[in-house]
Structures are given as C-alpha cells and as structure tokens.
Structure 1
C-alpha cells in the first residue's frame, strides 16, 4: 500500500509519520523512490500508538520496546525452523533430542 493508504489505515498524520520514519520506528520498503507499506507496518504503527497513548511509554522507551518485540519475533522464526527440522528427523532422533532438551532443563 502507498503512504496515503497507510496513513488512513493507521490513523497517522503526515508529521507523525515523518517523525516515526526518521526515528526508525517504522521500516517500510523503499522501491523506485516510493515507500511501500504492508499489514505488518499498520500493526506496528497501531502498537506504537498504543504504547504511547494507552501505556504512557515515552519516546525514549519506544525503541527499547520495539527492539524487544523484534527480538522475540526473530526468536519465534528460529524456533519454528528448529521445530520443522526436528519434525523431519526419524523418530529415534527426535526422541533423543527431546530427552536431551529435557535433561538440560533439569540441569
């Protein structure tokens, strides 16, 4: 979606959008000199608004929260890849890995 549609869907005024872009809080894709936004950008903008208005997080705290959320998202992708790789293994290998993980959890 283009910037105009994004602004309408995220209920951002142009000034706020510019500040959030300059701050790196939003990361749309720049293609041929035009910003392109996706559903994840709308969700992120709504999250930033909620953090500021509903939770009272100030401008210094927003990047900290966003970084933590991005880290959790990255870890989810890694964990999903591990689960897929584990699922592709023979039963014996899966059991051994599960047992080894359980033993680590008890250590």
Structure 2
C-alpha cells in the first residue's frame, strides 16, 4: 500500500510516520515513486502505536522492544532452517 493509504489505515500524521522511518522502526519496500508498505509493516506500525499510546512506552523502550522482536524472529527463522535440515538428514 502507498504512503497515504498507510497513514489512513493507522490514523496517524505524516510527521509520526517520518519519525518511525527515521528510527528505522519501519523499512518499507522502495518502489519507483514512493515506498510501498506491506501487511507486515502495518502490523508492526500497530504494535508501535500500542506500545507508545496504549502502554506508555517511550521511544527508547520501543526501540529496544522492536530490536528484541527482530532478533526473536531471526532466531525463529534459523531454528526452522535447522529443523528442516535435520528432517532432511534424518530421512536419508
């Protein structure tokens, strides 16, 4: 989805999105004219909203939480790869 649709979905101002992009909390795919936001970007943005507005987490806290979440997803992907490799080795 384009920037305007993303802003509308989240009911946020452009300045808020700019902060999130500067912090690299969101890294949308770059299309020809403008960034394109995925469903994963939308879910991540909703998490950012919930952490900040809903739970009162400050920017530094959001940064730490998102970093840990990214690490967790990376470990999960690595584990799935190992599990798949183990399954292939075992079936031989």
TM-score by length of 2: 0.90
Q: CA RMSD in A?
A: 1.5
Structure 1 runs of 4+ off > 6 angstroms?
none
Consecutive unaligned residues of structure 1, counting only runs of 5 or more, are: 94-107
Deviations 1:13-68 (A, max 9, x none): 21111111112111111122410110010001000011112221101111111000
The size of the alignment, in residue pairs, is 92
Which protein has the larger Cα radius of gyration, Structure 1 or Structure 2?
1
Structural mapping, 1:1-107, within 5 Å: 1-90=1-90
Consecutive unaligned residues of structure 2, counting only runs of 5 or more, are: none
- Whose RCO is larger (CA < 8 A, sep 6+)? 2
